[in-house]
Chains A and B, each alone.
Chain A
Amino acid sequence: MMDEQKQEFWRWAESNWKDPDMDWKDAQHVTVGIDVGSISSQAVIMVDGRIFAYGNRRTGFDSAKSGRNALNYALELTDMPGDRMDYCVGTGYGRVNVPFADRSITEIACHARGANFIYGPWVRTVLDVGGQDIKAIQCDEKGRVSNFLMNDKCAAGTGRGMEVFSELLGISVNEVGERSFEYEGAEPVSISSTCVVYAKSEALRLLRKGRTTEQVLAAYCEAMATRIYSIVERLGVNPEFAVTGGMAKNRGVMDRLMPMIGLERMTTKWDPQIAGAAGAALFGYALCRKGKGRKK
């Protein structure tokens, strides 16, 4: 049937979480960070500078609503009323479109600050691979940005590029990592086009020549890693090295990227996708502590 619900392979798992041991009622400052990206939106609720809850959802066509949705997704796990927050900072591609935010801060600053928090103060280079851009950031022990490089003109290497391929190959984005290593014995192939549109035609030619879906997926993950590496390399990598954004969860690309860089990447108990929103919430917390919070 034509209108039968077709499977949406690009659909990654949305998530929300709440700290079971934390209570917001004695909080001095409740701050919220909202990161509205092109593909995903996150909300992090902090209670006195510690993560209390977060929500991570797909961005819809209305970026104002998307920020609100992510926040509600976090709030629904808690008994905190929606108007309890003392300060809210918006960041990301759609940051100017967060109507309930008190101010907006660039995602470069927020990612560095957030990576410093979720990975620890030893991080000096942050790679953020989001839906629509790739950012390489150098920062100090306080998470302050000292240098950065960004590519937002081209889909090659971005989350969106991965989505296009998961749709093309009919493999869920969540399974890309595992599947891209399941080509035992078969000889490896490569995709040479940088442009996602041309890489697609190349992939179709490979499939037609009888290559397996996994081989083509492996080739594409390798091409993505190469693309990301070219950006990281231009900025230079100082250890420790950490990755944020949705791509940090994609082993298919990460396990191919790290040998190119020649370092181990830092690990965290947190979802690396919330770094930007966490950074935004921390900036809000710092403002509140300086008495520069919202006038009540």
Chain B
Amino acid sequence: MTTVGIDCGAKTTKTVILRDGQVIGKGKVLTGFDQGEAISESLGQALGSAGVSREEIRKIAGTGSRVNAIKIADTQINDSDAMAKAANYFFPNSRTVVDVGAEEGRAAKIDANGNVLDFAVNEECAAGAGVFIETMARALEVTVEEMGRLALKSAKKIPMNAQCAVFAESEVVGLIHAKTDKTDISRAIHDAMAGRIVSMIRQVGVHEDVVMIGGVARNPGLVELMKKELHLENLLVPDDPEFGTAVGAAVVAAEVCLKGR
């Protein structure tokens, strides 16, 4: 059985093709201003990479902050459910999952079947979301990837006073003017970001195993600092974590099909 999960997010739109419990195709494009176009393009990419035709698909599930733009979806899955199913799919022992994307973050406590028991969400504030890191990288004039690497090189903890992304940007510019080392500034930025995400996770409690998905999980510097902050040996991140909720949506679609039988 083949199902599709589409996650139309603030920054990118991701599509995965799931066949009999295996991800066999993926597509990712920038969401941009024309969401409909991004959706069909990412679906096209995913079908192409899987070598699957539209007719073979049993069900398409949509999720993400721009879910309403996914007109081709047969069903809509809310972000928390998709996230929880994804964590369970990648790591069956996961009990806490956190998903941080470009403009939103959420954390959930989940059971052994990937059902949500409790959740916390941030959709209103850029602090603690991917745009925070991007804005700071721009101020520091390095790429996000580079900034993550720089952060890992610093042993110095400089506290950031600002929580707000707008104020933090001014603070970073101030630190640059004060000739603070770029590695230390990067560390401060990542510490601030990690702190915000961790406080969201604490709202649902830290139950191992802890899984992180979403594009922000690609940042090794941040994941390292979050581990420290959470006092964890391990923070599990799947390959291509930005496809997490799309996978979760495809899994839910498959479950719905099976129940329908």
Contacts and interface: CB of A to CB of B under 8 A. Distances in A.
State whether these chains interact: yes
Interface of A: 38, 61, 132, 153-155, 160-161, 164, 193-198, 201, 205, 208
A197 B166 contact: yes
A95 to B, nearest CB: 15
Contacts of B167: 38, 132, 155, 160
20 contacts: A38-B170, A61-B178, A153-B163, A154-B125, A154-B163, A154-B164, A155-B167, A160-B166, A160-B170, A164-B166, A194-B124, A195-B125, A195-B126, A196-B165, A196-B166, A197-B126, A197-B135, A197-B165, A198-B126, A201-B10
Q: Which of B103, B125, B167, B177 has the most CB of A within 10 A?
A: B167
Interface of B: 10, 33, 103, 124-126, 131-132, 135, 163-167, 170, 173-174, 177-178
Nearest to A60: B177
A54 to B, nearest CB: 25
Given A197-B126, A198-B126, A205 B33 contact: yes
A161 B166 contact: yes
B35 to A, nearest CB: 11
A155 B164 contact: yes
A3 B10 CA distance: 33
A276 B48 CA distance: 64
Contacts of A153: 163-164
A198 B33 contact: no
A62 to B, nearest CB: 8
A65 to B, nearest CB: 12
A61 B174 contact: yes
A38 B173 CA distance: 13
A197 B124 contact: no
A153 B103 CA distance: 18
Contacts of A197: 126, 131-132, 135, 165-166
B213 to A, nearest CB: 22
A205 B170 CA distance: 25
Contacts of A201: 10, 103
Contacts of B135: 197
Contacts of A155: 164-167
A184 B9 CA distance: 35
Contacts of B166: 155, 160-161, 164, 196-197
